[in-house]
């Protein structure tokens, strides 16, 4: 069960990183592309992560790298998934899920693990 959850979280993290780094997708408005590009640039600048690690993550190949972990954390911070007290915003994360996912195991894991930072721990230690 935990492996399924980790796989699901990795999938969503991959999608989030992919969305942030894609700037030439035709179905995304120029405004959204600019926002994603700025988010990517901000987090790369803040962390000094190697762009190759992000490219690999877009392919589902996650590497054990502290700067990459900081990059993923930066993305979560920038999209508002952590509050001013450095706590994971459970309700914000659930609100970002597609409606059909809110009552699934992923939504349950976010509710159960989010407040204790276990979810972020899983994301950063299992990739």
Q: Which residues pair with 88 in a beta bridge?
A: 82
Mean pLDDT score of the chain = 69
Domains of the chain: 2-125 (1.10.238.20)
Q: How far apart are CA 15 and CA 58, in angstroms?
A: 7
Residue 49's pLDDT is: 93
Give the 3-state secondary structure of residue 82: strand
Q: Which residues pair with 82 in a beta bridge?
A: 88
Check: CB of residue 44 under 8 Å from CB of residue 12.
no
pLDDT tens for 43-99 read 999 999 999 998 888 777 878 888 888 888 888 788 887 777 777 676 777 676 667
Residue 47's pLDDT is: 92
In which band, very low, low, confident or very high, does the pLDDT at 120 lie, cut at 50, 70 and 90?
Answer: low
Res. 122: pLDDT tops 60: no
CA–CA distances in Å: residue 84 to residues 3, 35, 87:
31, 22, 7
């Amino acid at each position: 069960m935990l492996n399924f959850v980790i796989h699901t979280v990795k999938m969503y993290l991959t999608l989030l990183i992919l969305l942030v780094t894609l700037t030439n997708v035709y179905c995304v408005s120029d405004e959204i592309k600019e926002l994603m590009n700025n988010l990517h640039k901000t987090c790369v600048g803040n962390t000094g992560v190697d762009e190759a690690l992000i490219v690999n993550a877009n392919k589902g190949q996650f590497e054990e790298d502290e700067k990459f972990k900081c990059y993923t954390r930066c993305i979560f911070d920038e999209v508002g998934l952590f509050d001013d007290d450095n706590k994971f915003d459970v309700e914000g994360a659930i609100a970002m899920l597609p409606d059909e996912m809110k009552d699934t195991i992923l939504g349950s894991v976010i509710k159960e693990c989010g407040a204790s930072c276990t979810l972020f721990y899983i994301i950063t230690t299992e990739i």
